Chain A
Amino acid sequence: MLDAFAGAAGLLLTGDPTLTHIVGLSLRVSLSAVLVASVLALPVGAALALFRFPGRTGVVVLLNALMGLPPVVAGLIVYILLSRAGPLGSLGLLFTPQAMVIVQSLLIFPIVAALTRQMVSDLWVEYREQLTSLGASRVRAIPSLLWDARFSLVTALLAGFGRAVAEVGAVLIVGGNIDGVTRVMTTAIALETNKGNLSLALALGVILMGLTLAVNAVAFAVGEFSRRRYGV
């Protein structure tokens, strides 16, 4: 066991190329997924907070439920869509990093959208009369509310990133854990542990834990900054 820890420390300190490639790919995939999901989820969440329409309650309940979407189910859905016989099979995306971005976006979208809806909803209660008085329609209020909720929304985005980077089942199904192509931290840890190569698994585990800590530290720092700077 001590050998495994020593080996992990060696990999971390020497910047092992395999290790850095896996970490780099993980970050690229998860950050891309956060970006894609956010572009869609922020306006959708805000619109759900501001507009009333038939079936809205059902949509909100569904969105909240999808926050707990099992990753393997998401992986299965995307696999079926992208497989050669599937509706998007002609795109040839299965077992590529792009497929992993798609499946992670699917997992992040409900988290960011549901949290955005709640945050914007709370802010709308406070701002509604003022913005209406200033002449802002609900559509024009959306970017204003998203901007004013920006510090809270960073936490939602970080929660999405945390979910994506720590996810294993979905990326394993649609990525295939191909060495040098679609192998990310979580799938590599699972594989190397099965193979008994605990050094690499431990080194990746340390980085993953470090990332989790960093994400939480950033969320905390953003909250503190907003409290000090804006009194919120």
Chain B
Amino acid sequence: MSIDRTILPIELQQVVFAPRDQVLLGPINLTLGAHARTVIMGANGSGKSLLLRLCHGLIAPTSGVIRCGEQAGDPQTACIRKRQAMVFQRPVMMRRSVRGNVLYALRLRGVRGSRAEQLTQQALALVGLEALAKRSARVLSGGEQQRLALARAWVIRPEVLFLDEPTASLDPDATTAVEAAVQRFAEQGTRIIMTTHSTSQARRIADMGIWLDQGQVTQHDPLVRRTL
């Protein structure tokens, strides 16, 4: 999990995503990751989630280039994806315990034994779930599941963490808990790139805002952050 070469900044050059000749995103020219916390805003269907998936390498652009760092290739290269993590709007909880979900992410990177246990405990403590470690992940509340998804993503110590509307379906208390966890991750050095509908949330979390409209970047400005 060591980071010997940075995958930052993430540069999108003339990136277009157009399945079946229908342009859903782009062309986009954008540099991400220069700031600690970047928020991407826009209405439903504006292309926020697509942009995150492209940067994370879950889908490939129809045209254009995505570069991660000076010498790295596109994000679909596994070694780059290993230094990124993503939390989805609806987190997928694997059918195992809270602890088992976090350990699984570590096992995929070859981390096992006492080291894996130690990292798992740290990650669960950071999101306040250590008391629920033995509980089945799928019976947690929505907010708890989202915090577990954050812990599972962060435990691999990603250089960049993509968050796709992580608080979209949560109540205010759960939203606060998730935002606090995100802030702690950022303080530990992980770059946060997050989508949201909420301008107020963007101001609480981010120091850079990107606005998308119909698949195009319309604005790209620093934000004045409010303390949580």
Enumerate chain A residues within 8 angstroms of B108, measured Cβ to Cβ: 134-136, 140
Contacting A at CB under 8 A, from B39-92, are: 53, 56, 58, 78, 81-82, 85-86, 88, 91-92
Are B105 and A148 in contact (CB-based, < 8 A)? Answer: no
**Nearest chain B residue, comparing its CB with the CB of A140:** B108
A132 touches B58 (CB 8 A): yes
B18 adjacent to chain A (CB < 8 Å): no
Identify which of residues 148-201 in chain A touch chain B, using a CB-to-CB cut-off of 8 Å.
148-151
Q: What is the bound-complex CA distance between A186 and B138, given in angstroms?
A: 43
Q: How many contacts A-B (CB < 8 Å)?
A: 55
Known contacts A229-B136, A230-B139; is-contact A133 B94 (Cβ 8 Å): no
| A-contact 0/1 string along B111-123, CB 8 Å cutoff | 0000000000000
A119 shortest CB reach to chain B, Å: 12
Q: A135-B81, A232-B138 are in contact. Are A129 and B94 (CB under 8 A)?
A: no
- Answer whether residue A14 sits at the interface, using C-beta atoms and an 8 A cutoff: no
Complex contacts, A134 vs chain B, CB 8 Å: 85, 104-105, 108, 152
**Interface presence of B20 (CB below 8 A):** no
Q: How far is the CB of A25 from chain B (nearest CB, A)?
A: 37
Q: Is the interface of A mostly helix, strand, loop or mixed?
A: helix
- A133 near B56 (CB under 8 angstroms)? yes
Interface string of A199-223 (1 = CB under 8 A from B): 0000000000000000000000000
Q: Does the CB pair B92–A232 fall under 8 Å?
A: no
Query: Taking the complex as formed, is B220 at the interface, i.e. its CB lies under 8 A from any CB of chain A?
Result: no
Partner of B78, one of A135, A147, A231: A135
Measured CA separation A232–B93 after assembly (Å): 11
**Which residues 161-203 in B have Cβ within 8 Å of A in the complex?**
none
| Chain B, interface SS category | mixed
Partner of B109, one of A135, A150, A232: A135
When C-beta atoms are compared, the residue in chain A nearest to B56 turns out to be: A133
Contact in complex: B94, A148 (CB < 8 Å): yes
- Chain A residues within 8 Å of B136, by CB: 229-231
A226 to B81, CA, bound (A): 33
User: CB of B226 within 8 A of chain A?
Assistant: no
Chain B residues whose C-beta falls within 8 Å of the C-beta of A149 in the assembled complex: 95
**Complex alpha-carbon distance, A125 and B194, angstroms:** 24
Q: A133-B56, A133-B58 are in contact. Are A126 and B92 (CB under 8 A)?
A: yes
The answer, yes or no, to whether B5 is at the interface (CB within 8 Å) is no
- Whether B96 is near chain A, meaning CB under 8 Å from some CB there, is yes
Within the complex, what minimum Cβ distance (angstroms) separates B159 from chain A?
A: 14
Shortest Cβ gap from A199 to chain B (Å):
48
| Bound Cα distance from A4 to B220, whole angstroms | 88
- Are the CB atoms of B92 and A127 closer together than 8 Å? yes
Distance from A222 Cβ to chain B, minimum over Cβ atoms (Å): 13
Check B82–A135 contact: CB distance below 8 A: yes
Residue ID in chain A nearest B106 by CB atoms: A134
Contact B95 A129 (CB under 8 A): no
CA of A74 to CA of B159 in the docked complex: distance in angstroms? 57
Residue in chain B with minimal CB distance to A152: B95
Closest to B81 in A: A135
Contact flags A82-118 to B (C-beta < 8 A → 1, else 0) = 0000000000000000000000000000000000000
Distance A229 CA – B136 CA, assembled complex (angstroms): 7
Report the bound CA distance from A151 to B138 in whole Å: 14
Asked whether any CB of chain B lies closer than 8 Å to the CB of A18, the reply is no
Residues of A within 8 A of B82 (CB): 135
Residue ID in chain A nearest B84 by CB atoms: A133
A126, A134, A137, A149: most-surrounded residue (chain B CB, <10 A): A134
Interface residues of B in 96-141 (CB under 8 A from A): 96, 104-105, 108-109, 136, 138-139
The reply on A144 being an interface residue by CB < 8 A is: yes
A230/B56 in contact, CB under 8 A? no
Least Cβ distance of B201 to chain A in Å? 23
In the bound complex, residues from chain B placing their C-beta under 8 Å from that of A148 are 94-96
Top 10 A-B residue pairs of the complex, sorted by shortest distance between their CB atoms: A130-B92, A231-B138, A148-B95, A133-B86, A231-B139, A230-B95, A135-B108, A230-B136, A230-B138, A134-B105
What are 15 contact pairs spanning A and B, CB under 8 A?
A126-B92, A129-B53, A129-B58, A129-B88, A130-B94, A133-B86, A134-B104, A147-B95, A149-B95, A151-B95, A226-B95, A230-B95, A230-B136, A231-B136, A231-B139
